Amino acid sequence: MDLQQLKYFQTVAHMEHMTKASEKLNISQPALSKAIERLEGEIGAPLFDRVGRSIRLNRFGRIFLERTLPLTTIFEEAKQEIQDLQSPNSGTVFVGFTHSMGTQILSKMVRLFQQKNPNIQFEFIQRNSQHLLEDLSEGKCDLCLTPLVDTELNIEWQGLWNEEVYVVVPANHPLAMKEAIFIKEIAEEPIITIKEGNSLRQIQTKAFAHAGITPNIVFEGEEFHTVASFVEAGFGVGLLPSLHKLDGYQVKRLSIKDFQCERQLGIVTMKNRYLPEVAKKFMQFINEHLEK
């Protein structure tokens, strides 16, 4: 039994006329009759009383019609909902983003986008990079705005821009007199870092490995402002990107001489997975806006 059979049955049940039903369904009358007979065979009872050329829905047929109408209604409603979601002019975009991407780009892009597309809505998930990719792989979001992280997931990466990552020291630190340093110059310093699962943590790990250093990590923060505030307070030094909102902290950014330390920021989707039209439209809007 399938939905097509149910549709055939319900049409015949409402019209109680095989010829008229076959014309409405655009199939031949013999094919419709065979479909109804197969359905009755699966159920194990006749659904119609046949008197000459006339058919009438019987007691079994009325019960079956009553029970199956909600099924086809739910199916049609679900199909319509999905079609609405796929429409490029209405629906919902499910977006995952990291804290830094939310403050740097996402909130502004959504506001500008909805000014032109008021019928498109958004739902958001904010997590660190690694957890966002897990959410993406599980279908909880259509796309993620996040720095690039090492992952075994089958993702599609679209870079938007790169930003330098600096060593950040307290304003009164001896190294604050410099503009750039080698990684080994902070080998003995206590390190304030971001927690595992963040792209910045992966960059830091690679930088210290490049210099042959085992970092003395004294604190792991949830986000960049926590790291910056602990560095400002003199608890250690850290690695942070050049975020404008960090300008208010009494810290000094130092470029790294011996390692290309930068974050790649962009949009992540899953390879070989259907992407709703509204999500594609939002991605295109971001790209066009940044190009300007």
Give pLDDT tens digits for 145-176.
999 988 889 999 999 999 999 999 999 999 99
Question: Region 219-239: what's the mean pLDDT?
Answer: 93
| pTM assigned to the model | 0.66
Residues 6 or more apart whose CB falls under 8 angstroms from that of 39 comprise: 1, 5, 8, 9, 47
* Residue 124 · residue 239 · CB < 8 Å: no
Give the span between the Cα atoms of 224 and 102, in whole angstroms: 13
For the chain, what percent of residues have pLDDT higher than 70?
96
pLDDT the model gives residue 1: 66
Q: Is residue 236 predicted with pLDDT exceeding 90?
A: yes
3-class state of residue 105 by DSSP:
helix
**Whole-number average pLDDT of the chain:** 90
**DSSP assignment, residue 165?**
E
